[in-house]
Structure 1
């Protein structure tokens, strides 16, 4: 039975129950592939990654492969990353080109997707170039992020974000530079990983170093259609920590001074956004933690065929200053930091990563926490197969997990999707 967005929001506070096989069954994985991913807006990348006409980037998830291209009029357009002649994949990664070539038979496409060159076209007597351009996708740039949708008539992006745009605009993501980007390969389902970023109930056991400054039991929540937000106060006395109001004042003062040093305007942010951790879930597969001048974004991608593997894209971003040149995209691929190499606990399955001097303090803090999360999750995935495990139990602190799984079920609903697969809300 399909649940409305409003009912899911209201019911999530009670918690719920999740069948473990949602996280490993091939059948559930196929439901997602066929019914979820074709119906959602995908966060393809950042517009700052392709600043100049002819710059392009690609995004892949299951059968969908997207090219986002900066146009000559400075707009961004997205196309299916396949040649309409014989299906060859055109591009991979990021780059720059005046025209897009297909290496198979040397067809050539302009930046707007139109077919501009066909060798020996005379051998195709009924052929019209107009009919064989790159197939476009619906695409929009919101807060500096490029979104694409493969559907013919998708829900408009403004409606899809359902009020979340105002939250995103506060942080001026389009002005941020990405100083760390890393893709991690994990031995767990993409939802197993995502759910660890949806609550702070696990902090006491997994991240004890964060307890003194994090008010884990007093989070507040907001819901925006299929998306959600969690606010975690910092630096206040807590049943699970020993922070003080002085710590809160110091944190706010530190972030103001940091912003002033870089000539960054944060005057529009209310006091709580200088001290609390605002964490967002952009349905279905993106989360980000925000602070006054930056954020840490995580994009969770299913493995092409194995429901018990996934990839996680980690982006650390900061607003460096008002200078447009310095705000241009700057990505560091190789790092050398002694203390923090997140992912090392997985016996080398995850490449280590750390940071350069800009933002090093941030990566030291978050790098350790990520190491703790990513080191734990393969064991969680293995435990989901236990014959002694019943349905997973979600508390009110885990209401965002209940909410988003209810939204997931609403996309998967249809023939052959049985009630035994579904989230059940607590009574």
Structure 2
């Protein structure tokens, strides 16, 4: 029988695994009412635009989308446009997507170029943003400007940094470094090696009829499982969720894989785990090893013999560790609970990540560029760790959904997709001035307190 107990206090994930339960939190620190104007008011959205979105770090794509020198992509936020490019030194840099001459937009979409050339007057800029060419410098005064003020006429820079394989951009040139903004989250996520994961299965961007915060709210609480995802009830025990708060960010974890062992028979524990791939596809590759471990746990009469230390949950953890190690992923920095349990990260303002060893689901949302607070754009990507030689073939291309409702998500996500837009219809009612939160929605309370601080005064 494989050893199932481990002592892991030194591993970063233990901080979350041993975080406080809901009953151990001090709720005097939280406001459990949230004003609803933030979901439907154009005035509130205008404050968000200037005090939040134009000052905060946000995901602009994956670093491996720009692998080569000269690769570039455009990131759009409201009516603001930025270019991210891979320089000759291998570094990524961000620029305002406008020529310094007369402000003409330089790029659309994504592409590859040795330099950026404005299609209006043909001024050209190197990949580091420096002005390198002006047509007809012999015109009166032009040569002097080109030579004497060249440094001042480069593209306007904006900060771009990478973390966990994501490209982050901040429209604020005075922004603190990304590592400072993320704080302890950097060490918590590092052992998953997410920078080596690739999009697999789902990679979709679509406009939704709801405010961007409705999406962030929905994925920060498990209270709605009983109403929206009843099929997950046997596999997740939300009553044992643990919480941590790190600066503007938060993380929670709930036992996964029939954790309420005192109430579930061995056969029911196993059945719940076997059903997980319907909602969590990444579990499928672990099941063969799980079945092998099950056989070793049967008595002479063929019946499963579980103990406090060895049960379906611990076997799922061991099967996951064995399977991923055999694939080549170093999981030595992850705890046993990180083998089985999803950890739910909200990196303020719009980076949501559900992650367990070997796989993750990333969800982001941004305000719709048309300025309607009742609409947004969401991006959903499934990630999986694969050996390097398998990544290119498995990579899921980005799907841009143009016909609302035409793309069918996997079960749990489809349920959320429908529910979130239904919620926004209720939030449009102006006589509903506040939402009342339950204690199980404590992360929403934290998120909205952080939001209130930003919108009131900008970053702390």
- TM bucket, shorter chain: 0.7 to 0.9
* CA distance in structure 1 between the aligned counterparts of 2:134 and 2:27, rounded to whole angstroms: 57
Contact 2:210 2:420 in 1 (8 A): yes
Aligned residue in 2 for 1:265: 330
Aligned residue in 1 for 2:415: 372
TM-score, L = length of structure 2: 0.77
Aligned residue in 2 for 1:22: 38
The structure that is helix-richer by fraction is: 2
Report deviation, 1:379.
1.4
For residues 336-373 of structure 1, give each alpha carbon's deviation from its aligned partner in whole angstroms, at most 9, with x where no partner exists. xxxxxxx9xxx95144156xxxxxxxxxxxx1111000
Aligned residue in 2 for 1:140: 161
The count of corresponding residues between Structure 1 and Structure 2 is 383
Report deviation, 1:409.
0.7
Report deviation, 1:188.
0.5
* CA distance in structure 2 between the aligned counterparts of 1:35 and 1:113, rounded to whole angstroms: 27
* CA distance in structure 2 between the aligned counterparts of 1:334 and 1:75, rounded to whole angstroms: 24
Contact 2:30 2:446 in 1 (8 A): no
Gaps of 5+ in 2: 1-24, 270-309
Aligned residue in 1 for 2:442: 399
Please give the secondary structure, in 2, of the residue aligned with 1:159: helix
Please give the secondary structure, in 2, of the residue aligned with 1:57: strand
For residues 357-394 of structure 1, give each alpha carbon's deviation from its aligned partner in whole angstroms, at most 9, with x where no partner exists. xxxxxxxxxx1111000111121111113366352111
Please give the secondary structure, in 2, of the residue aligned with 1:222: strand
Q: Which has the larger radius of gyration?
A: 2
Report deviation, 1:329.
9.2
For residues 294-348 of structure 1, give each alpha carbon's deviation from its aligned partner in whole angstroms, at most 9, with x where no partner exists. 2111111101211000000112111111x3x54469643388xxxxxxx9xxx95
Report deviation, 1:414.
4.9
The answer on 1:352 being equivalent to 2:407 is yes
Contact 1:184 1:350 in 2 (8 A): no
Of residues 97, 105, 115, the one that matches 1:89 is 105
Contact 1:320 1:326 in 2 (8 A): yes
The answer on 1:294 being equivalent to 2:349 is no
Report deviation, 1:24.
0.3
TM-score, L = length of structure 1: 0.83
Q: Please, which moves more after superposition, 251-260 or 309-318? A: 251-260
Report deviation, 1:288.
0.6
Aligned residue in 2 for 1:424: none
1:243-282 aligned within 5 A = 244=269, 246-282=311-347
The answer on 1:234 being equivalent to 2:256 is yes
Contact 1:66 1:80 in 2 (8 A): yes
Contact 1:201 1:217 in 2 (8 A): no
Of residues 361, 375, 378, the one that matches 1:309 is 375
* C-alpha RMSD of the superposition: 2.6
Q: Please, which moves more after superposition, 213-222 or 83-92? A: 83-92
Report deviation, 1:143.
2.5
The answer on 1:217 being equivalent to 2:230 is no
Contact 1:185 1:350 in 2 (8 A): no
Report deviation, 1:216.
1.6
Contact 2:204 2:398 in 1 (8 A): no
* CA distance in structure 2 between the aligned counterparts of 1:93 and 1:215, rounded to whole angstroms: 43
The answer on 1:411 being equivalent to 2:427 is no
* CA distance in structure 2 between the aligned counterparts of 1:193 and 1:142, rounded to whole angstroms: 22
Q: Describe the shift of the 1:237–1:316 C-alpha distance in structure 2 as closer, same or farther (beyond 3 A).
A: closer
Report deviation, 1:250.
3.6
* CA distance in structure 2 between the aligned counterparts of 1:350 and 1:69, rounded to whole angstroms: 33
Gaps of 5+ in 1: 1-8, 336-342, 355-366, 416-427
The answer on 1:108 being equivalent to 2:161 is no
Q: Describe the shift of the 1:330–1:117 C-alpha distance in structure 2 as closer, same or farther (beyond 3 A).
A: farther
Aligned residue in 2 for 1:122: 138
